């Protein structure tokens, strides 16, 4: 279930198709898949839900299953719902109404998925989207809904393979804060809320992948900075800006990398990366790169 939800959230159509089939093989019903799609779209956006619904229809048709899942129910909005967050979003009251009346009073109360299932799905999606505040809230809600600490740690580790290690590292850090605030026991290590993540990062990512000779350490830093920049993953961006400098990238090259990627990922990501890079340079006592003179295209 969580793999279907994560791939829906990431708009990973081919993976979504594969894992919908796998979910059916693993005993997830059509009605449950339908409900996963409906639940997840509130956290990842309607375009992801529309895409997932289309993929589900194709998967069902290929298997000779009815397009409309047996057991799936229509909307049944509550008449006088209890408001989960009555004071939320005073500046955007319509969003507050959607959150309270549709997301929590209606969607979370539907019986096609248990509250525990919904919590697991939502923690997974929050992890995949690097949504720290949502992870923080829904890890607490998951504990209240019967998901164990070990299960939450395993969700984070599982999702990491689909959404990338920066998302897992971020979720593990936020989850550890939730566990600590609740006085729950944790072990030692960098990621006590998701201990297996330690082994994966040291062994699989840095010892194995970073050690492969097909790309130099400098070039791997170039690619990693670009990805963490594009995904607005500030903590990991800071780590890999430092690592990039250690691996031989110059300040001018990193500045140019930021400018290049910004054209494809949007100015907010570039502004965030520029600010983070300036902080890294100040911490290292390095000067900011010189501003290049703009070049004018020549008419030929």
pLDDT tens digits for 105-129?
Answer: 999 999 999 999 999 999 999 999 9
Mean of the per-residue pLDDT values for the chain?
92
CA pair distance 156, 174, nearest whole angstrom: 11
Among 14-23, 150-159, 192-201, which stretch is predicted with the lowest mean pLDDT?
Answer: 192-201
Closest to 271 (Cα-Cα) out of 239, 296, 247, 237: 237
What per-residue confidence (pLDDT) applies to 93?
87
Q: Under CATH, domain 2-195 is a member of which superfamily?
A: AhpD-like (1.20.1290.10)
Among 67-71, 109-113, 193-197, which stretch is predicted with the lowest mean pLDDT?
Answer: 67-71
pLDDT level of residue 296 (50, 70, 90 thresholds): low
8 A C-beta contact, residue 223 and residue 260? no
pLDDT level of residue 86 (50, 70, 90 thresholds): confident
Does the domain made of 217-284 have the CATH classification 3.30.559.30?
Answer: no
The domain spans of the chain are: 2-195, 217-284
The answer to whether residue 294 scores a pLDDT higher than 60 is no
The answer to whether residue 72 scores a pLDDT higher than 60 is yes
What per-residue confidence (pLDDT) applies to 10?
94
What per-residue confidence (pLDDT) applies to 300?
47
Share of the chain above pLDDT 70, in %: 97
What per-residue confidence (pLDDT) applies to 299?
57
Q: Is the dihedral of CA 44, 49, 52, 56 positive or negative?
A: positive
What per-residue confidence (pLDDT) applies to 89?
80
8 A C-beta contact, residue 2 and residue 121? yes
What per-residue confidence (pLDDT) applies to 111?
92
CA pair distance 267, 230, nearest whole angstrom: 10
What per-residue confidence (pLDDT) applies to 70?
76
- Give 37-51 pLDDT, tens digit per residue: 999 999 999 999 999
Domains 2-195 and 217-284 share a fold: yes
CA pair distance 172, 135, nearest whole angstrom: 9
- Mean pLDDT value across residues 91-98: 87
- Report the Cα 200 to chain-centroid distance in Å: 18
């Amino acid at each position: 279930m969580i793999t279907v939800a994560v791939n829906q959230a990431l708009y990973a159509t081919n993976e979504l198709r594969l894992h919908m089939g796998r979910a059916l093989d693993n005993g997830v019903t059509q009605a449950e898949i339908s409900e996963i799609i409906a639940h997840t779209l509130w956290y990842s956006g309607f375009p992801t839900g529309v895409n997932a619904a289309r993929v589900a229809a194709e998967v069902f048709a290929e298997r000779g299953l009815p397009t409309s899942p047996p057991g799936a129910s229509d909307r049944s909005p509550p008449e006088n719902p209890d408001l989960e967050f009555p004071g939320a979003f005073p500046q955007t009251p319509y969003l507050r109404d959607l959150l309270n009346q549709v997301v929590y009073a209606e969607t979370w109360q539907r019986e096609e998925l248990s509250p525990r299932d919904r919590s697991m799905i939502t923690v997974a999606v929050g992890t995949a989207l690097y949504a720290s505040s949502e992870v923080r809230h829904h890890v607490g809600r998951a504990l209240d809904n019967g998901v164990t600490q070990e299960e939450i740690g395993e969700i984070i580790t599982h999702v990491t393979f689909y959404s990338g290690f920066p998302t897992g590292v971020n979720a593990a850090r936020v989850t550890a804060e939730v566990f600590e605030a609740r006085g729950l026991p944790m072990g030692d290590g960098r990621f006590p809320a998701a201990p297996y993540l330690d082994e994966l990062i040291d062994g699989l990512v840095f010892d194995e992948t970073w050690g492969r000779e097909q790309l130099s350490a400098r070039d791997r830093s170039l690619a990693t900075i670009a990805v963490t920049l594009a995904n607005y993953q500030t903590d990991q961006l800071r780590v890999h800006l430092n690592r990039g400098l250690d691996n031989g990238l110059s300040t001018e090259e990193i500045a140019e990398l930021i400018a290049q990627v910004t054209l494809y990922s949007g100015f907010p990501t570039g502004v965030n990366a520029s600010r983070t890079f300036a902080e890294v340079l100040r911490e290292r006592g390095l000067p900011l790169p010189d501003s290049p003179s703009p070049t004018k295209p020549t008419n030929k």
